Structure 1
Amino acid sequence: MQPDILGPPYEQQVIELDPDDEGPVVATLIRRRADRPSGRAVLYLHGFVDYFFQTHLADHFVRGGWDFYALDLRKYGRSLLPHQTPNFCRDISDYFPELDAAARIIREQDGNETLLVNGHSTGGLIASIWAHARADQGLAPDGLFLNSPFFDINAPWLMRRPVAAAVCRVAARTPYRVVRVGLSHVYGQSVHASHRGEWNYDLAWKPLGGFPVRVGWLTAIRRAQKQLRHGLHISAPILLACSTRSFRSLRWHDAATLADAVLDVEHMARWAPRLGRHVTLVRIDGGMHDLTLSRQPARDQVFSELDRWLRAYFTSEPAGPDPGQRVSAERPASRGVPEEG
């Protein structure tokens, strides 16, 4: 392990991966160990246009005796190399090698018997597909905490099914073609301290307007979401948490700080039963897209609900969050749900 950009007690390990059509590929595993070994660890997976900077989340787990890890996936954050297209993949399974490597490091090298995976947004979708795929291979997590997972495209049915399917038919020929849909600046403005938010992070790795959405990436996401809709078989307990409402406007309004300004939360609730047989759904009033970045009191409620779920399925819980805590990071610095077409 080497020093991480967050400084002590965070450290990182670069995971060398097989090259792809753009050249060399790496992922980055960030680690913060608990004061005393407990044999329990959590692995955090970020979302699209994202990377790990939420040190207050790590604080929460570490206080409860969990070793904390986060994985900056290939072409994201710490792992983004100059020759790469930011955040691009052709299939969700592209991320399996770094997830497998991280799980082995956490379990075999660092001696943790219990592994909880905490996935946010696209990370929640990736974690779910990976957990399903690794169920019989000894690498599957012992639990999933899904924070506003990306289970469907936030658009009317016509756009997210037939229109999106037509766009994706060109993926094999032109996977890097940019889709003419942009991410709203509203969510970034609601989060970053330089605008209307509370949090500091690297805007080069997590720009307010996001990175371009490309046809190959959209195809990978739709394929994974379709697999989820057909049903996964995750035997581990799952906590899925999301806001009670979504923010629909492309223009700023203070209501954006009290809702999910990225995804449709009803999609998350609708498809949650397709994950497995042990799914707990929690709705957070006033929760934002990344629930852990929500304003108070919603942020405290997220951690309270997480603790209650951990008490039900694990031996002990993390301590409560430090109210009002802020984070600053510098980059050197068929399960009862009708099927939808």
Structure 2
Amino acid sequence: MSGRKSSGWTLDVLGQGFEQYTLELQPDDEGDVVATVVRHLPNPLTAWNKPLRNVDVLYVHGWSDYFFQREEARFFTELGARFYALDLRKYGRSLRDGQTPGYITDLATYDEDIEGAIQLIGQGRNASRLLVLVGHSTGGLILTLWAARHPGVAAALILNSPWLELQIGSLGRAALAPIVGVRARYEPRGTQPVVDLGFYTRAQHDLGAGAEAYPAWRPERGFPTHPGWLNAIILGHSKIAEGVDVGCPVLVLLSMRSTPPVRWVTAMTSSDSVLVVDDIARASLKIGKLVTVARIEDAIHDVFLSAPGARAEAYAVLRNWVVAAHTSL
């Protein structure tokens, strides 16, 4: 069984109403490996007549990140869904001393994390409840590829600024891939230039939307990157570019515009300063047969951490889409 259960549910760092469960995974060359599931459940006395009462939501975070979005969890539970979030191996709650944060050489390795979480919450092909996957940034790439490899498991896929293409575009990716591939083979944990100058973190703090604590889990300038990890990302982008089918309806939420992260400008508090959103919008059309792309005015990279107006628009779009999608399933 993937994701062997190793503990019961305990109070999570997010406080009342949030619990966590640790899953033991297969050890790797850095020792013991775990994933962590966080849950927030609806009120059983009021959930019975809500539109998503038979839905389980599973959320996966992005690069240099972990789950801390209480508001997003409560949005789903107020609609009657059971909400679960997964801190992947070597991220957030699952990061252990001596591990290389976020390091992976094959995105399919996360199948063990995801399938462990799915088994824990009682999901799978024969589950009586619908599974909705929610992925942000790198988590969006991971879940898209996972859903394409496991058709029929998820009833819907919601992607919040998914990292479906490299910031230098498809031509730049094609030129970079051989170089990264060689380094990944001979020095997979080698050093790479720092490209995160902390502007996205600053934008979140200026909006009052950043993580409250645990800077080791979410450093200002992100985790150091390594060739082995970047090669895995590039291979994932290449698969998206070739076209995949996630086998379910997809909602992609994106900002209206991007701001290049070369120097700080206030526009970064109302735009995506991480990804090139037009490239992501185009790549999104290659992941399934029914894909809705919603562009949110003044949104930042995590649209649900944007300023109040953009955040309200994003939640309104999400509510209308997920309720309509659920009704049609």
TM-score by length of 2: 0.90
- State the alpha-carbon separation in 1 of the partners of residues 211 and 97 from structure 2: 23
Contact in 2 for aligned 1:261/1:288 (Cα 8 Å): yes
Contact in 2 for aligned 1:2/1:11 (Cα 8 Å): yes
The reply on whether 1:307 has 2:323 as its aligned counterpart is: no
Contact in 1 for aligned 2:147/2:247 (Cα 8 Å): no
- State the alpha-carbon separation in 1 of the partners of residues 26 and 56 from structure 2: 26
Structure 1 stretches lacking a partner, 5+ long: 317-341
SS in 2 for 1:220: helix
User: Which residues of 2 match residues 206-217 of structure 1 at below 5 A?
Assistant: 206-217=218-229
- State the alpha-carbon separation in 1 of the partners of residues 260 and 233 from structure 2: 21
Contact in 1 for aligned 2:135/2:159 (Cα 8 Å): yes
Give the structure 2 partner of residue 132 of structure 1.
148
In the TM superposition, what is the alpha-carbon distance from 1:158 to its structure 2 partner?
Answer: 5.6
- State the alpha-carbon separation in 2 of the partners of residues 98 and 59 from structure 1: 23
SS in 2 for 1:166: helix
- State the alpha-carbon separation in 2 of the partners of residues 112 and 27 from structure 1: 25
In the TM superposition, what is the alpha-carbon distance from 1:268 to its structure 2 partner?
Answer: 1.1
> 1 or 2 for the larger relative contact order (CA 8 Å, sep ≥6)?
1
In the TM superposition, what is the alpha-carbon distance from 1:167 to its structure 2 partner?
Answer: 2.5
- State the alpha-carbon separation in 2 of the partners of residues 97 and 183 from structure 1: 29
- State the alpha-carbon separation in 2 of the partners of residues 121 and 68 from structure 1: 19
Residue by residue, what CA displacement relative to the aligned partner does 1:81-117 show, whole Å, maximum 9, x if unpaired? 00200011011011100101111222359x7611111
Query: Which of the residues 16, 22, 26 maps onto 1:18?
Result: 26
Give the structure 2 partner of residue 63 of structure 1.
78
SS in 1 for 2:122: helix
- State the alpha-carbon separation in 2 of the partners of residues 181 and 160 from structure 1: 18
Percent identical among aligned pairs is: 38
Query: Which of the residues 170, 192, 207 maps onto 2:183?
Result: 170
The reply on whether 1:84 has 2:92 as its aligned counterpart is: no
Contact in 1 for aligned 2:256/2:277 (Cα 8 Å): yes
Give the structure 1 partner of residue 283 of structure 2.
271
The reply on whether 1:253 has 2:268 as its aligned counterpart is: no
Which amino acid in 2 is paired with 1:160?
R
- State the alpha-carbon separation in 2 of the partners of residues 130 and 272 from structure 1: 15
In the TM superposition, what is the alpha-carbon distance from 1:157 to its structure 2 partner?
Answer: 5.5
SS in 1 for 2:196: coil
In the TM superposition, what is the alpha-carbon distance from 1:160 to its structure 2 partner?
Answer: 2.8
Contact in 2 for aligned 1:182/1:212 (Cα 8 Å): no
In the TM superposition, what is the alpha-carbon distance from 1:155 to its structure 2 partner?
Answer: 2.1
Contact in 2 for aligned 1:92/1:220 (Cα 8 Å): yes
In the TM superposition, what is the alpha-carbon distance from 1:170 to its structure 2 partner?
Answer: 1.8
Contact in 1 for aligned 2:261/2:274 (Cα 8 Å): no
- State the alpha-carbon separation in 2 of the partners of residues 156 and 123 from structure 1: 19
The reply on whether 1:48 has 2:78 as its aligned counterpart is: no
Contact in 2 for aligned 1:247/1:261 (Cα 8 Å): yes
Query: Which of the residues 73, 88, 94 maps onto 1:73?
Result: 88
User: Which residues of 2 match residues 1-341 of structure 1 at below 5 A?
Assistant: 1-36=9-44, 38-108=53-123, 113-135=129-151, 140-155=153-168, 159-192=172-205, 197-201=208-212, 202-315=214-327
In the TM superposition, what is the alpha-carbon distance from 1:6 to its structure 2 partner?
Answer: 1.1
Moved more, 237-246 or 195-204: 195-204
SS in 1 for 2:85: strand
Task: Return closer, same or farther for 1:170/1:302 CA change in 2, 3 Å cut-off.
Answer: same
Give the structure 2 partner of residue 332 of structure 1.
none
SS in 1 for 2:135: strand
- State the alpha-carbon separation in 2 of the partners of residues 299 and 219 from structure 1: 33
Contact in 1 for aligned 2:123/2:131 (Cα 8 Å): no
Greater share of helix: 2
SS in 2 for 1:188: helix
Residue by residue, what CA displacement relative to the aligned partner does 1:37-75 show, whole Å, maximum 9, x if unpaired? 632111110000000001010111111101110000000
Which amino acid in 2 is paired with 1:85?
T
- State the alpha-carbon separation in 2 of the partners of residues 98 and 165 from structure 1: 29
Task: Return closer, same or farther for 1:112/1:294 CA change in 2, 3 Å cut-off.
Answer: farther
- State the alpha-carbon separation in 1 of the partners of residues 105 and 239 from structure 2: 15
Which amino acid in 2 is paired with 1:282?
A
- State the alpha-carbon separation in 2 of the partners of residues 76 and 94 from structure 1: 14
In the TM superposition, what is the alpha-carbon distance from 1:296 to its structure 2 partner?
Answer: 2.0
- State the alpha-carbon separation in 1 of the partners of residues 132 and 304 from structure 2: 17
Which amino acid in 1 is paired with 2:149?
A
